[in-house]
Amino acid sequence: MNEHPTVGTPGGQRPWGLPPSLASTVQRYFHYQVAVETGTYKGTSTRLLRELVGRVYTIESNLALYENARRALASDPDVQVFLGSSPAVLPSILNSLNSCALFWLDAHWFPEIPAADDSQCPLLEELSILACWPFIGDSCVLIDDARMFSRPLEECYRAGYWPALHEVIAASRFTPSTVSAIVDDVIVVGPSTLTLAFSDYSKPTGAQSVVWNNVQK
Ligand SMILES: C[S@@+](CC[C@H](N)C(=O)[O-])C[C@H]1O[C@@H](n2cnc3c(N)ncnc32)[C@H](O)[C@@H]1O
C-alpha cells in the first residue's frame, strides 16, 4: 500500500492526501465497492482508493489537472475522472450508484493551483447534495483539511469561502445516528458502527484516541 506522502508548508512537513491507515480502517469494516473523490489533483488518493475499494469516480475542476489525471489513469477502466466543479458533477455520479460508498471530499483550493473563480471550498454544497442521497446513511464521508475549518486562515485564503467546523459538523449530520470525529486532519463521518472500526485505531498508528460527536449511549 502507498506510504502517506508529505508536503512542505510554512509550518513544516504535513501528510498529503488521504491517510492510508485511516482509509483502510474504514474499508476493512465497511467493504465499500465504490469511492467518490472531489478534487483529483495528481491522483495520489485516487490511486489509493482504487487499490482499497476497487472502483473510483473522481472530479477535478481545473482543465490542465483534469487532462493530466485522465491521461495518467486512462489505462484503468475502474477509475473515471470527471471535469467540472464538484457540486455540478456530483449529482449525476450519485444518480448512477445504487448502494452506499466511501467519499473523500478534498476539492479545496491551495496556493499551488490557479486561483479559483467561484469558491475555494465547495464543501457545504457537496454535503447538502450528499444529505439528499438515499444511501448516505450507510456511507462514510472523509473530509480533508480539518484544521482549515477551525483556525484563522493565512492571507491567501478567503475566509468567507471556508465554513467553520461547527457548520461542517452540522451539515454532515445526515441521519440521527450519524457520528463524526477528527482523525489525522480528516473529519470522519459515518454510521454509528464507525466507532467500532476505530476502537483500536490509536494502537498501531500512535494517534490520539478518537473522540466521537453524537454517539448515543
Ligand atoms: C488538495 S487538492 C486534492 C488532492 C487529492 N484529492 C489528493 O488527495 O491527492 C485540491 C484539488 O481540488 C481541485 N478543485 C478545487 N475546487 C474544485 C471544485 N469546485 N470541484 C472539483 N475540484 C476542485 C483543485 O483544482 C485541486 O486539484
Q: Can you list the residues of the chain whose pLDDT is less than 70? A: 1-15, 116-117, 203-208, 216-217
CA of 181 to the centre of ligand 1 (A): 22
Q: Please indicate, yes or no, if residue 11 is contained in any of the structural domains.
A: no
Establish how many alpha carbons lie within 13 A of residue 147's alpha carbon, considering only the half-sphere containing its beta carbon: 7
Q: Please indicate, yes or no, if residue 13 is contained in any of the structural domains.
A: no
Cell numbers found for residue 154? 493565512
8-state DSSP, 67? H
Determine which residue's CA is closest to atom 15 belonging to ligand 1.
107
CA of 41 to the centre of ligand 1 (A): 5
| For the CA of 62, the nearest atom of ligand 1 | 25
Give residue 205's pLDDT.
66
Give residue 41's pLDDT.
96
62 lines ligand 1 (CB under 6 A): yes
What span, in angstroms and rounded, lies between the C-alpha atoms of 70 and 64? 10
What span, in angstroms and rounded, lies between the C-alpha atoms of 33 and 52? 9
Give residue 7's pLDDT.
61
Q: What angle do CA 56, 62, 63 make, to 5 degrees?
A: 95
Cell numbers found for residue 19? 491517510
Q: Please indicate, yes or no, if residue 185 is contained in any of the structural domains.
A: yes
**pLDDT tens track for 4-53:** 666 655 444 566 799 999 999 999 999 999 999 999 999 999 999 999 99
Q: Please indicate, yes or no, if residue 90 is contained in any of the structural domains.
A: yes
Q: Please indicate, yes or no, if residue 10 is contained in any of the structural domains.
A: no
Q: What residue numbers bound the domain in which 170 lies?
A: 18-205
Give residue 3's pLDDT.
56
Q: Please indicate, yes or no, if residue 168 is contained in any of the structural domains.
A: yes
For residue 180, give the CATH number of its domain.
3.40.50.150
What is 154-215 written as a DSSP string?
PTTS-GGGS--HHHHHHHT--STT-EEEEETTEEEEE-TTHHHHTTTTHHHH-PPPP--BS-
Domain total of the chain: 1
Give residue 10's pLDDT.
43
Q: Would you mind telling me the total number of residues written for the chain in this entry?
A: 217
Hey, what amino acid is at 74? A
Q: Please indicate, yes or no, if residue 2 is contained in any of the structural domains.
A: no
86 lines ligand 1 (CB under 6 A): yes
Q: Please indicate, yes or no, if residue 5 is contained in any of the structural domains.
A: no
